Amino acid sequence: MNSRRQRLLTGAEWSWEVAGRRGIHEDRQRQSNRGRRDTDDKCVVHAAEARNPAQDRGKITARIEQEAFLKVFLAGRIAVEAEGVVIDERRFPGRQGRLLFAYLVAEHGRPVPRDELADVLWGDAPPATWDKALSVLVSKLRGVLAEGGVDGASALTAAFGCYQLDLPKGTWVDVLAAESAAKEAEGFLEAGEPESATETAVLAESVTRIPFLPGDDGPWVEEKRRELAEVRVRALSALAEASLRTEKAADAVRWAELAVEAEPFRESGYRRLMEAQVATGNRGEALRVYERCRRLLAEELGAYPSPETESIYRNLLEAPPGGGAAATPDAISAPGAAPPPTSSRKRPVLTAAALVALLALAAAATAIVVTRGDGSKTSFGAAPSRVALVVPSSPPWADDPSAQYAEALDSARTEDGVVTQKFAIDPSKPGLSGLPQRARRSLDDFGLVLLAGQFVATRFAHEFGRHPHTRFVVLNPDPINTDGPLYQAVSNHRNASDVFFIEGPGARLAGFLSALVARRQDPGKRPVVSEILVNKDVSANVVDNFPTGAMAAVNGVRVLRAYAGEFAPGARCEAIANKQIEQGSRVVYADAGACSAGALSAVEEHRGVWGVEADQAPYSPFGPRILGYTVKAFGQEVDYAIQHYIDHTLSHRRHVDIGIERHAVDFFAHTDVVPEQFLDRLRGYRHRWMPHWRTLTNAPLNQ
């Protein structure tokens, strides 16, 4: 048995913060379409009088989030917040309810015809009773708004065949605020106020980096994502330009790199990045940026850089010693942006002679290698660390953590100053054939490549030896298959390692709390709790911990256990949970991946029964009838790998386990529903076991 499977009783830091078919014949469809057109005509005729005169775009995009009475979040998980009360997307009426709400919000008060909403929700295959289904969704949305302190009947109205969402004055909507902020940032640049431009553009960038309605698709969603992607590029361009004008060249490089990553075929991003590199004194890097642009256009499009880009390149080569700017500000700035004031920093140029010297120095620098005491080798004179993250293009399961990995990568880019790139690979294709050609060719350009999960990393098992100067780190691998090619590849190559979670105590603490609550629910009876897992191998880290915690809390507690299997549908877990509840379970711990949602749905239908969720992101809101949840902070794997890579302490051929020492695993209790005396007992139990749990991880702390 490998060391990971031996360390099943493991540690977690405790936190008490709350953190188709159409089904309609063609003749019926023609009648339906004719009726929908008639309804649409009525809506158009009466739209002006139906609309609240006070409702306009500015009304619901209050830029200062802290001042808003109502906050609406459409990027990432949909949520509504009013006076500290958060209504999570799980309170919305399913996928159609979330999509309907997002569409009405994005239309910022426009009366929307019913048939238009039907097209958004069901596309070309609406149900036969789509009109009734839409009415039911609207009614449920009104209830959700009421939970947030908004009069749902007054806010979401129906008139003349339209629905109109009239949000209270001063409402803040994240994606609309981002659009306004990007426009304001560009205005501040034109007015010569780069500091104000930075402040507003940061808001736009922070919102648009989060996926819009993840998990949904359809023409409108895709169109909105393209719009927000454009907003993100505008915000990044403004940040880069503002950083240049305030002589923060390193920040300009980071923002410009992000802009190039977001729109790799937009040459203006490369031009701004070249300028930023020149401002930092990295003229050689500026020339490398041009080469990246030229190669991408040639390989992917069969095209050449534009005359504007070529002009900047020639200026870099031909400017006389001590000459002026490498390029005119107008050539570098985005179209429509005002040139910086004459008092801004001087932009150095690269002479032909200096180019030869720099290229020779760069070539020599790559050969200057110092061997450290731990045997690792470090190059000097290199550019900032370059880190790549490879995620699956089509996640193999619904709760895939790729979004958490990408968010942590973005944070590292801004906080640690590394240059990052995200690639998507199709895991259904063999080897690296599912990876874009330009990504395959650029592996050697990165010092560190992070591989998101077993499905992705398996495709790279043969690449470790082919790229000996690149460090590979597998994130969250399969801990069971130690005889498999991936585990052996990591063990046999000095440039590879993996990072795995020690997560058992989260389940153990969940069991402790569950038993206490179950005894309270059935006083005088033998308490019963239950757990739903994937299978014995996948769930090896938690299978015995939940019962151990339960029995430590209540002597004689009965613990039911069932396995749902890998990639089981939610209906499977729902059926298991219903059976366990029939057998007397008062708390159901669901740790079966995406299938767990079915079990928690069953919990909601039974009075006096509670649920415990597993593997949630830190500080996720609590759903109905939830006592608490275990946390798996996938971003901590990215943080660990990048920080130790930068510090030259990243282990070689090492299977690293992380847990308590990095807050990588955790447990959040719902303090609004758990009695204080139970929390006190749980604190004491955690305190007794924490010293032991801390000894079970093998990852060094940050240097």
The string of DSSP codes covering 485-524 is: HHHHHHHH-TTEEEEEE--HHHHHHHHHHHHHHHHHHSTT
**215 lies in the same domain as 258:** yes
Does residue 529 contact residue 515 with C-beta atoms inside 8 Å? yes
Does residue 629 contact residue 613 with C-beta atoms inside 8 Å? yes
What does the pLDDT read at residue 127? 84
Enclosing domain of residue 313 = 175-365
What does the pLDDT read at residue 233? 92
**45 lies in the same domain as 131:** yes
What does the pLDDT read at residue 526? 94
Instruction: Give one DSSP letter per residue of 299-332, joined into a string.
Output: IIIS----HHHHHHHHHHHHPPTT-S-SS-HHHH
Whole-angstrom Cα distance, residue 591 to residue 507?
9
**Mean pLDDT of the region 661-665:** 78
Instruction: Give one DSSP letter per residue of 681-697, joined into a string.
Output: HHHHHHHHHHHHHHTT-
> Which of 170, 186, 211 finishes a domain?
170
> Any idea how long the chain is?
703
Does residue 412 contact residue 349 with C-beta atoms inside 8 Å? no
- pLDDT, one tens digit per residue, over 495-511 is 999 988 888 888 999 99
Q: Is residue 19 pLDDT above 80, yes or no?
A: no
**Which CATH number do you get for residue 491?**
3.40.50.2300
**154 lies in the same domain as 51:** yes
Neighbours of 260 (CB within 10 A): 26
**297 lies in the same domain as 395:** no
**Range with lowest mean pLDDT among 122-136, 167-181, 478-492, 608-622:** 478-492
The answer to whether residue 151 sits within a structural domain is yes
- pLDDT, one tens digit per residue, over 50-85 is 344 333 433 444 344 555 578 888 888 788 888 777
**Mean pLDDT of the region 369-397:** 58
- pLDDT, one tens digit per residue, over 524-578 is 899 999 999 998 888 887 888 999 999 999 999 999 999 999 878 889 999 999 9
Tokens of 228: 């927000």
Q: Which of 473, 475, 535, 547 is nearest to 504 (CA)?
A: 547
Tokens of 107: 């239309």
**Range with lowest mean pLDDT among 297-301, 556-560, 673-677:** 297-301
The answer to whether residue 639 sits within a structural domain is no
Q: Is residue 248 pLDDT above 70, yes or no?
A: yes
pLDDT band at 390 (very low <50, low <70, confident <90, very high): very high
Return the higher-pLDDT residue of 609 and 364: 609
Tokens of 211: 């996926």
Whole-angstrom Cα distance, residue 564 to residue 547?
18
Return the higher-pLDDT residue of 215 and 461: 461
**349 lies in the same domain as 384:** no
Backbone angles phi, psi at 451, to 5 degrees: -110, 115
Backbone angles phi, psi at 480, to 5 degrees: -90, -45
What does the pLDDT read at residue 67? 54
Tokens of 85: 């009360």
Say how far residue 432 (Cα) sits from the centre of its chain: 24
- pLDDT, one tens digit per residue, over 338-353 is 333 333 333 333 333 4
Q: What is the reported pTM?
A: 0.49
**Which CATH number do you get for residue 142?**
1.10.10.10
The answer to whether residue 701 sits within a structural domain is no
Tokens of 31: 């009648």
- pLDDT, one tens digit per residue, over 177-235 is 899 999 999 999 988 899 999 999 998 898 888 888 887 778 888 888 889 999 999 99
The answer to whether residue 350 sits within a structural domain is yes
Q: Which of 18, 75, 2, 3 is nearest to 631 (CA)?
A: 18
The answer to whether residue 655 sits within a structural domain is no
pLDDT band at 170 (very low <50, low <70, confident <90, very high): confident
Whole-angstrom Cα distance, residue 71 to residue 92?
16
Tokens of 183: 């426009």
Does residue 233 contact residue 266 with C-beta atoms inside 8 Å? yes
**518 lies in the same domain as 606:** yes
**197 lies in the same domain as 327:** yes
- Name residue 461's amino acid: A
What does the pLDDT read at residue 449? 95
**109 lies in the same domain as 73:** yes
What does the pLDDT read at residue 16? 28
- pLDDT, one tens digit per residue, over 94-139 is 888 888 998 998 887 889 998 899 888 888 888 888 888 888 888 8
Tokens of 186: 């560009």
Q: Is residue 702 pLDDT above 80, yes or no?
A: no
What CA–CA distances, in Å, run from 379 to 382, 416, 472, 625? 7, 18, 17, 55
pLDDT band at 387 (very low <50, low <70, confident <90, very high): very high
The answer to whether residue 660 sits within a structural domain is no
What does the pLDDT read at residue 375? 42
**Range with lowest mean pLDDT among 165-179, 196-210, 286-300, 683-697:** 683-697
Whole-angstrom Cα distance, residue 24 to residue 33?
12
Q: Is residue 29 pLDDT above 70, yes or no?
A: no
What does the pLDDT read at residue 512? 95
The answer to whether residue 20 sits within a structural domain is no
What does the pLDDT read at residue 371? 36
Q: Which of 380, 358, 359 is nearest to 369 (CA)?
A: 380
- Interior angle at CA 146, CA 140 and CA 149, nearest 5: 160
Whole-angstrom Cα distance, residue 588 to residue 602?
10
> Which of 470, 500, 530 finishes a domain?
500
> Which of 318, 340, 365 finishes a domain?
365
**Which CATH number do you get for residue 338?**
1.25.40.10
> Total domain count for the chain?
4
**154 lies in the same domain as 190:** no
Q: Is residue 301 pLDDT above 90, yes or no?
A: no
The answer to whether residue 661 sits within a structural domain is no
What does the pLDDT read at residue 551? 95
What does the pLDDT read at residue 433? 87
What does the pLDDT read at residue 13? 29
Does residue 209 contact residue 258 with C-beta atoms inside 8 Å? no
**513 lies in the same domain as 625:** yes
- The chain-wide mean pLDDT, for the chain, equals 77
- pLDDT, one tens digit per residue, over 403-457 is 888 888 888 776 667 888 889 998 778 888 888 888 888 888 889 999 998 888 8
Helix, strand, coil fractions of the chain, as percent rounded to 5: 50, 15, 35
**352 lies in the same domain as 383:** no
DSSP code, position 621: P
What does the pLDDT read at residue 377? 40
**148 lies in the same domain as 289:** no
Whole-angstrom Cα distance, residue 240 to residue 253?
7
What does the pLDDT read at residue 231? 93
Q: Is residue 372 pLDDT above 90, yes or no?
A: no
What does the pLDDT read at residue 330? 36
SS (H, E, C) 162-222: EEEECCCCCCEEHHHHHHHHHHHHHHHHHCCCHHHHHHHHHHHHHHHCCCECCCCCCHHHH
Burial track 417-455 (b if 16+ CB lie within 10 A, e otherwise): ebbbbbbbbebeeeebebbeeebeebbeebbbbbbbbbb
Percent of the chain with pLDDT over 70: 77
Q: Is residue 395 pLDDT above 60, yes or no?
A: yes
Would the CA dihedral through 129, 134, 137, 142 be positive or negative?
A: negative
**Range with lowest mean pLDDT among 282-291, 379-388, 468-477:** 379-388
H helices within 3-87, ranges in order?
Answer: 3-6, 26-50
- pLDDT, one tens digit per residue, over 594-606 is 889 899 999 998 8
